[in-house]
Amino acid sequence: MSLDYRALSADYAGYHTTPGNRACHAVGIPLIAYAIVAWSRVGTPFPIAALLLPIYFLWDWRVGALMTSFIAVSALVAARVPGWASWAAFLAGWAFQFAGHAVYEKKSPAFAKNLTHLLVGPAWVATKLAGLRAR
């Protein structure tokens, strides 16, 4: 796995060039990531998904901080909402993803070429929503 977040982010961005697809991802990826955090709690407040945080910190400390915040908030929310909500979030998130690529981008998702993009996607969306640029 590459530690060059700038290169990974640039490659990922090449699959997300249209405003419609970026908007779909701004909604869809947080929903999917929330579901994964919710499922990874496994009866404990500490989500197993947090074990991915060192990767994000190796890429960029700001990305690590954003993803830490997202995972913490997601775990707190997941502890207070019914379990079916994570399934609904997951399915809705993927619907947004595929609609973005089919309707707007007309290009396959980035993870079809490089599975690392399954980790890059949440970081890329988080940095965009936070107004940060990859460095």
Q: Please say whether the beta carbons of 101 and 107 come within 8 A.
A: yes
User: Residue 44 above 90 pLDDT?
Assistant: no
Q: What is the pLDDT of residue 114?
A: 85
Residue 85 belongs to domain spanning:
19-130
Mean pLDDT of the chain: 91
Residue 134's pLDDT is what?
Answer: 60
Dist CA 84 CA 52 (whole Å): 24
CA neighbor of 127 nearest in space, from 16, 35, 2? 16
pLDDT at 32: 97
The model's confidence at residue 53, banded by pLDDT at 50, 70 and 90, is very high
2: in domain: no
- The tally of domains found in the chain comes to 1
46 domain residue, yes or no: yes
Please compute the mean of the pLDDT values over residues 97-114 and round it to a whole number.
90
Per the domain annotation, does 3 fall within a domain? no
User: Does some domain include residue 7?
Assistant: no
User: C-alpha 53: how far from its chain's center?
Assistant: 12
Mean pLDDT, rounded, for 26-48: 92
Predicted pLDDT of residue 1: 59
